[in-house]
């Protein structure tokens, strides 16, 4: 067995030797953000130095996050508050993926999009020129059910985009459900299906919660645009023109990040700074194996020791 | 083929002849409520006379509803407002089923139950002596997410009951999710999984929406106590001591009511006064066939014509 190779199906611990091999063998690093770069509002130790080291070696850096609550612009600001300079063009959030997906299928501009989600989705959709309904605006709407009440919805809604929504309520669930059930051909798009997310240092119900709710009421399955769907990767490949074996996906989740990387043929590095534990990786129910695993991204700095 | 027989797998239209046969062949009628007895706050035509006719023939009447928003007591009052006299003992709501289920497994009284649902569930659980958290009380709770915020949940919660909840919010989703994910052995109980319900003359997201949301965040499947689960039927059989072939389940939904009746070996009558249409019944995707079908329960009155 070659201790630096990736053909072996068993994941390898990121030693200083294979950290160097990994860095030398790829041209781009794709990073998940929550649980990899930061946890909620706290930066993970050693991240700025690691990113700087990779940039100094000419590596392309891309930040691929399933968290749809922010737009790329808002993410760039978040990086800035941590003193990390990241260009909007390097950020691929699932909010952006939803807008990019609609654009890619030539979703008509005269149709409207109903959003169960937060500001990030609205910002990205509006940037592309779509008219949005819902989102934060509907967060305070209440329903007074009585026999005379009739819930009206806009018949021009041609897509419902569902992402993480802290302000989820019955009004939004009804609005999205009616559009999908009653507007002919209305699309049901999920930014992602993560069960949980680190909105603070604690775990919180993720977009998978809101998406499942709409699956429950409509009995339909969504088009998923975030990880692990290949849509975002296809988009990335077209944009960066790098072969997938020359990319490494770094993430803290097996079923989104690592699966996303593996599906595309990238190298994969699992970090334990987020939701996944060693026992999750090694447990009998896990079938998703990364090429490498380590504690945090800063372990990539080990490669310096041997150079 | 015997036009009154039920062995034939093709559903039969309820003619005056087989209406009479059906009534004579069973001792008890189990009625769904929403879409059968009423639609929202409107009584369906001919219901009081039909129930009266069946009672006059000595038939036992049972009302089995998946709508968990009310308790049996509240349902008895609703019948009363329509001028129909129904005893609490004749009502089996999924709110009651949740309480009966916990009692049947000797769920400890010192444990607490977190409720994502409405008043009916709380009332039934408290009647049996359980301590409840959540429900309407948590309907106005908001979360202000920031890095210092820590969401506390009660470690003594041993069961989360999820039903239809018009006041669903992120607070409740987080509370229920944390209990199921973090409290050792915590049960996840669904009153039912109906995708939609007729809360008014319109369709609204049903309990299946809230249940799916919690499945999405916990990645767990619930114990379902309402239709089509057999729990309620087993309970009914024990209570009434009638053989299932001597019962007829009358309902407007194929995947809950008719399936519930068929699973138990009851005769089944589908009515088109609720969510199911003739084309749903006859469509290529439907695999659930009732013994009989007709427009509304009042068609059972036809039997008089031939007597």
Residue B1 — very low, low, confident or very high, per pLDDT cuts 50/70/90?
very low
Cα(B52)–Cα(B34) distance, integer angstroms: 19
For residues B180-192, average pLDDT: 98
A84, B36, B66, B77, B213 from A52: Cα distances, Å: 9, 67, 58, 70, 40
The answer on whether B34 is annotated among ligand-binding residues is yes
Q: Which position has the token pair 């080291």?
A: A53
Average pLDDT over residues B200-212: 93
Residue indicated by tokens 């010192």? B110
Cross-chain residue pair A167–B170, CB shorter than 8 Å: yes
User: Which of A137, A135, A178, A174 lies closest to A155 in space, CA to CA?
Assistant: A178
Q: What is A165-200 written as a DSSP string?
A: -TT--HHHHHHHHHHHHHSTT-EEEES---SEE-SS
- b/e map A8-25, b = 16+ CB within 10 Å: eeebbebbbebbbbbbee
pLDDT for A306 equals 44
pLDDT score, position B28: 96
Minimal C-alpha gap between B103 and chain A (Å): 28
The full DSSP string for B273-294 is TSS--HHHHHSTT-----SEEE
A235/B39 Cα distance (integer angstroms): 49
Chain A nearest-CA distance from B177, in A, is 7
**ipTM associated with this complex:** 0.90
B40 touches chain A (CB under 8 A): yes
Are the C-beta atoms of residues B165 and A170 closer than 8 Å to each other? yes
pLDDT of A304 reads: 57
pLDDT above 80 (res B286): yes
Phi, psi of B66, rounded to the nearest 5 degrees: -80, -10
Residue B216 sits at the chain A interface (C-beta within 8 Å): yes
Q: Where are the domains of chain B?
A: 12-66+227-306, 107-224
* Cβ–Cβ gap A147/B42 under 8 Å: yes
Binary contact (A150, B200; C-beta < 8 A): yes
- Please check if A227 is assigned to a binding site: yes
Burial label for A271, CB within 10 Å (0-12, 13-18, 19+), is buried
In 3-state terms chain A splits into helix, strand, coil percentages (rounded to 5) of: 40, 20, 40
User: Is the separation of the CB atoms in B64 and B95 below 8 Å?
Assistant: no
Contact A251, A257 (CB under 8 A): yes
* Higher pLDDT pick, B103 / A42: B103
A182 touches chain B (CB under 8 A): no
What single string gives the DSSP state of each residue in A232-283? HHHHHHHHH---GGGEEEEES-IIIIIHHHHHHT-EEEEETTSS--HHHHHS
Q: Which residue has the higher pLDDT, B203 or A208?
A: A208
Nearest CA in chain A to B206: A217
Sheet containing A91-93: order of strands: A12-13, A292-294, A267-271, A247-251, A28-31, A60-65, A91-93
- How sure is the predictor about B2, in pLDDT bands with cuts at 50, 70 and 90? very low
What value does the mean pLDDT take over residues B291-296? 97
Taking the C-alpha atoms of residue A62 and residue A239, their distance in angstroms, rounded to an integer, is 11
B32 carries an active-site annotation: yes
Q: Are B171 and B177 in contact (CB under 8 A)?
A: no
Mean predicted confidence (pLDDT) in B53-67: 96
Place of tokens 């007074």: A144
Report the distance separating Cα A214 and Cα A270, nearest Å: 31
Do A153 and A175 contact (CB within 8 A), yes or no?
A: yes
Q: Sign of the C-alpha dihedral, residues A124, A127, A133, A135?
A: positive
Q: What is the DSSP letter of B34?
A: B
CA distance A236 to A255: 20
* Superfamily of the domain at A12-66+227-306: HAD superfamily/HAD-like (3.40.50.1000)
User: What is the predicted pLDDT for the residue at B197?
Assistant: 86
Strand partners, A190: A162, A224
Q: What's the CA gap between B245 and B237, in Å, rounded?
A: 11
pLDDT of B281 over the 90 cut:
yes
- Report the residue of chain B nearest A196, measured CA to CA: B217
The answer, for A165 touching chain B at a CB cutoff of 8 Å, is yes
Confidence of residue B131 (pLDDT cuts 50, 70, 90): very high
Q: What is the pLDDT along chain A (307 residues), one digit of tens a residue?
A: 344 444 447 899 999 999 999 999 999 999 999 999 998 888 999 999 999 999 999 999 999 999 999 999 999 999 999 999 999 999 999 999 999 999 999 999 999 999 999 999 999 999 999 999 999 999 999 988 887 789 999 999 999 999 999 999 999 999 999 999 999 999 999 999 999 987 887 889 999 999 999 999 999 999 999 999 989 889 888 888 889 999 999 999 999 999 999 999 999 999 999 989 999 999 999 999 999 999 999 999 986 554 4
pLDDT in the model for residue A23: 97
To 10 degrees, what angle do helices B119-128 and B94-104 make? 30
- The answer to whether A304 and A66 have CB atoms below 8 angstroms apart is no
Are B146 and A41 an interchain contact pair (Cβ–Cβ within 8 Å)? yes
What span, in angstroms and rounded, lies between the C-alpha atoms of B179 and B177? 5
Which helix (H) or strand (E) segment holds residue A190: the answer is: strand A187-190
**DSSP character at residue A292:** E
Q: Which of A63, A2, A48, A1 is nearest to A300 (CA)?
A: A48
- Strands (E) across B34-129 are located at 38-39, 42-43, 60-65, 91-93, 112-116
Domain at B107-224, CATH from 3.40.50.300, 3.20.20.70, 3.40.50.1000, 3.30.565.10: 3.40.50.1000
Cβ-nearest to B196 among A151, A195, A217:
A217
Question: Does the annotation count A280 as an active-site position?
Answer: no
- Is there a common fold for A12-66+227-306 and A107-224? yes
- The chain B residue lying nearest A171, using CA atoms, is B166
């Amino acid at each position: 067995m070659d201790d630096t190779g990736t053909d072996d199906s068993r994941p390898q611990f990121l030693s200083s030797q294979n950290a160097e091999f990994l860095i030398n063998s790829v041209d781009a690093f794709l990073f998940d953000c929550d649980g990899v770069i930061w946890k909620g509002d706290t930066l993970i130790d050693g991240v700025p130095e690691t990113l700087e080291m990779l940039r100094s070696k000419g590596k392309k850096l891309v930040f691929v996050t399933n968290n749809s609550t922010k737009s790329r612009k808002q993410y760039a600001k978040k990086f800035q508050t941590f003193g990390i300079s990241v260009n909007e063009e390097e950020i691929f959030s699932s909010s952006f993926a939803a807008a990019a997906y609609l654009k890619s299928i030539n979703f008509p501009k005269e149709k409207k999009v109903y959003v169960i989600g937060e500001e990030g989705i609205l910002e990205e959709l509006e940037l592309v020129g779509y008219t949005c309904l819902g989102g934060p605006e509907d967060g305070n709407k209440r329903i007074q059910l009585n026999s005379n009440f009739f819930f009206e919805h806009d018949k021009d809604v041609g897509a419902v985009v569902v992402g993480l929504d802290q302000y989820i309520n019955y009004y939004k669930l009804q609005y999205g459900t009616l559009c999908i059930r009653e507007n002919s051909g209305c699309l049901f798009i999920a930014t992602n299906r993560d069960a949980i997310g680190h909105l603070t240092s604690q775990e919180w119900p993720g977009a998978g919660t809101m998406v499942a709710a709409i699956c429950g009421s409509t009995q339909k399955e969504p088009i998923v645009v975030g990880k692990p769907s290949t849509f975002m990767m296809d988009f990335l490949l077209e944009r960066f023109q790098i072969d997938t074996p020359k990319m490494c996906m770094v993430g803290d989740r097996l079923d989104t990040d690592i699966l996303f990387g593996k599906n595309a043929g990238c190298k994969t590095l699992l970090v334990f700074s987020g939701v996944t534990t060693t026992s999750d990786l090694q447990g009998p129910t896990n079938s998703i194996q990364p090429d490498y695993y380590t504690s945090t991204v800063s372990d990539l700095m080990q490669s310096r020791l041997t150079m």
